Structure 1
């Protein structure tokens, strides 16, 4: 069921919080409120912890100056919540969204998203391993199955197109590499998006000239993406990184849906695969590329949820192309490591070499 679109002109004070909880049918009336800024997330939004005498909450206020929604041409989390797509009645049994209430604040042209505080279920960096991935991929398989090739449901989702979300990351990288900006917003992003500005030069220093040329080629000419655009599609979270995932009791809780889109399921999985096992590898004695059983687990789970077999040949093809897509957008994140340690540097360079070979294999290059 869709939620009502509500405009609010006040401040994020206790009156706002009481009204939001009442709209969500939460029978709690806070008597005190302390607002504490949260500064450790990689988001352009203002995120604050609301500490009350009862429970704690998180308030995320989107910025009208955030480059990502404009670049991806995506409506954002607020409209997605209002559409009802993230309500518990619409999500599968293993999945939760922590948003309680969403309102639009005209004075700042921002959406305010009030959420349960689920920070205690976020796994610290380095500790998110195969067990957590299996839990996540089981839950996301249920979401994917609920929308699998369902054209009507997918058409009703207020989300960006997959190609636009890819462009939002790839075009600034292309501009930074060539100083040729093919979109009006890309140059600003190269200055405003700190991870790209800091990590891209380090990444280029890590890779061979041949890999640098190949990296530029898959960003410059993204005709390889056409097949992803025309393959079996489903509802994608779009940003399955560790910091957007919380585990509480038997539920997998996903937040930060601003990159939500629709496309092949492999795009969600490869995004998480890259960030979990390639860019930030857990210390479990296994190499990043020794995780194929996770894909097999997902395929079994999604077919069980669908009650039918999927086209596994098509899935394998999109699996390879989704890897190319992730590397074209996030490859520079390989540089987010302690490269002063020679052992770490050598291990990352080996992973980069294998990652680019996987791209070449997918493209038949």
Structure 2
């Protein structure tokens, strides 16, 4: 049935006609669309057919397609060129299937992929002629990834970053942070336990071209490993980096905690309203899930700090020294190679308290039971000399919530169909308990308590 439904969707996108899909929908199916910039829900086959004319108007020629099969359905990433305008259009379809029929169909917009461009001469001269090709990937930023080979025969990955095309870059004040960190020698100053695959960075007319060793094997070690067992190595390495750069700011291009805090602000959907990026379109739903499900006391405390984060930022700066932060330290960006951690994607590298890297890692690593989260917190304590976590970690947990990550976890748990990767109910309860405990120990950050 999966192959038939997928084929029907591809046919519908090719013709612009929902009729090919009608027979595969369950009675009273639900369509959730974020195409217009916010969540719109439609129920029933007839209503969905009317909505389809807005979601995928007109026929199109498919230029990219991938599908991931899950127990509850499948994720489909498809790009097409709409006729007759020639406009590229990319959507992500999450299709929930019950008893062989589509019960939920979620459609997200995404930034269209762009073809490989000409590389700057210094990079092109270092490569084997004709070896450059597109690298299929599931990323949603404005970057283009390519495979190539150096003159030595070594395989490399080339990343073309364009800050003006990437909403995260715009939000974090990034003008090519990954490239600048290479040019300024920051990567060379990393301690022995952690490294980056970047071997060259060259400015281009619209951003930077980053040349990296192909470390896909190292990444698989983490992605397919036990999160707690891998966490021991990963946390020890990043803790060494934090110690090496403690009380120093190695580069002026690092993101500030204030900018990082605003990445997933409730205002972000309005700021990015003209963009095609997926995540900003989902933030309204995330914040609504948090406000509805966190409990009045916790929700009010967090939302007050969303409106005015100055007390939180001041308390965090006073409680913990600043250091170099990776900024996006999570399993998808990490590998282990020869006993060293290889860290990708330094585009969100920050200058702030080490605890921010750890809480981000914790949120993106342990979506299962409380035991994994407790084990990782204990490991963080151990690699930091056995010192019990103080208010700095509590403030980092609050920072995490004010930034919107707890809201995102709650929204994913609540809105994603069954049978797809998502946080468990236990994960949501754990974060809400942890957040409540943090506020109890920190007190009222408005200075009134």
Normalising by the smaller structure, the TM-score range is 0.7 to 0.9
CA distance in 2, matches of 1:238, 1:49: 25
Change (3 A) 1:355 1:188: same
Across the aligned residues of Structure 1 and Structure 2, the Cα RMSD in angstroms comes to 3.2
Q: How many residues align?
A: 314
Counterpart check, 1:346 vs 2:425: yes
CA distance in 1, matches of 2:184, 2:365: 31
Counterpart check, 1:58 vs 2:157: yes
Structure with a larger share of its residues in strand: 2
CA distance in 2, matches of 1:357, 1:160: 28
User: Which residue does the alignment assign to 1:162?
Assistant: 257
User: Which residue does the alignment assign to 1:111?
Assistant: 208
User: Which residue does the alignment assign to 1:242?
Assistant: 331
Change (3 A) 1:291 1:78: closer
TM-score of the two chains, using structure 1 as the length reference: 0.75
Change (3 A) 1:363 1:291: same
CA distance in 2, matches of 1:261, 1:138: 19
Give the counterpart of 1:229 among 317, 328, 345: 317
* Cα offsets for 1:267-304 (capped at 9, x unmatched): 11111112112xx33x7x72534543112222128xxx
User: Which residue does the alignment assign to 1:11?
Assistant: 118
Contact 2:186-2:250 within 8 A present in 1 as well:
no
CA distance in 2, matches of 1:189, 1:317: 37
Shift in Å at residue 71 of structure 1? 2.1
Change (3 A) 1:274 1:201: same
Contact 1:320-1:362 within 8 A present in 2 as well:
yes
4+ residue stretches of structure 1 with deviation over 6 A? 341-344
Structure with a larger share of its residues in helix: 1
Q: Secondary structure at the match of 1:39?
A: coil
Counterpart check, 1:216 vs 2:303: yes
TM-score of the two chains, using structure 2 as the length reference: 0.62
Shift in Å at residue 336 of structure 1? 3.2
Contact 1:128-1:242 within 8 A present in 2 as well:
no
Give the counterpart of 1:78 among 179, 192, 201: 179
CA distance in 2, matches of 1:126, 1:100: 26
Change (3 A) 1:110 1:356: same
Give the counterpart of 2:144 among 27, 32, 46: 46
Matches within 5 A, 1:1-365: 11-12=118-119, 17=123, 19=125, 21=126, 30=128, 32-50=130-148, 54-63=153-162, 64-75=164-175, 76-87=177-188, 90-106=189-205, 109-123=206-220, 127-150=225-248, 154=249, 156-167=251-262, 169-170=263-264, 172-174=265-267, 187-188=271-272, 192-198=276-282, 200-201=284-285, 204-205=288-289, 207-208=293-294, 210=296, 211-222=298-309, 223-230=311-318, 231-277=320-366, 280-281=367-368, 286=371, 288-289=373-374, 291-300=376-385, 316-329=390-403, 330-334=405-409, 335-337=411-413, 338-340=416-418, 346-365=425-444
CA distance in 2, matches of 1:341, 1:11: 42
CA distance in 2, matches of 1:132, 1:360: 30
Contact 2:250-2:324 within 8 A present in 1 as well:
no
